[in-house]
Amino acid sequence: MPKTVTQLYAQFERALANLDASPYPHSGTGKKKYDATVDKCTDLADRIVATPANPANPVPEMLLKIAAAGWSAGTPEPLDRWTSCGDQGIEDCLVSIRADLQAMQAAPPRRASRRTGRPERVAAAA
């Protein structure tokens, strides 16, 4: 059975923790392991972005997909902490979509009533 976005993101977070714990960026040792961990994070981020969100409750998984896409794009800090971007590119689009999804998650939009096929009500003449 294919993994969900949530399951893949849990693996992604573990891989990121391993990446952060690597001594390579600080000491110059362990480059092979560091590179393998970067490759694993990249693979997981790509899989997260390509995996469809849960249609029954898509907002949380869409937010995870945005965070993974931001990491994959090489953002210096997690996209979840961004409020704007000076480049005015795809990052601004993702920031905007993320804000919309967060608002939807907090207060889901009310559904429009379906009036198809029903006659309009007419006020009674006085």
For the chain, percent helix, then strand, then coil, each to nearest 5? 60, 0, 40
Each residue's pLDDT tens digit, 66-98: 888 888 877 666 666 666 655 556 667 777 788
Q: Which residue has the higher pLDDT, 49 or 2?
A: 49
Chain centroid offset of residue 68 CA: 6
Q: Which residue has the higher pLDDT, 121 or 105?
A: 105
Kindly state the helix (H) or strand (E) to which residue 76 belongs, with its residue range. Answer: none
Residue 61 CA: distances (Å) to CA of 8, 13, 54, 67, 75: 10, 14, 7, 10, 20
- pLDDT exceeds 60 at position 124: no
User: What value does the CA radius of gyration of the chain take, rounded to a whole number of Å?
Assistant: 21
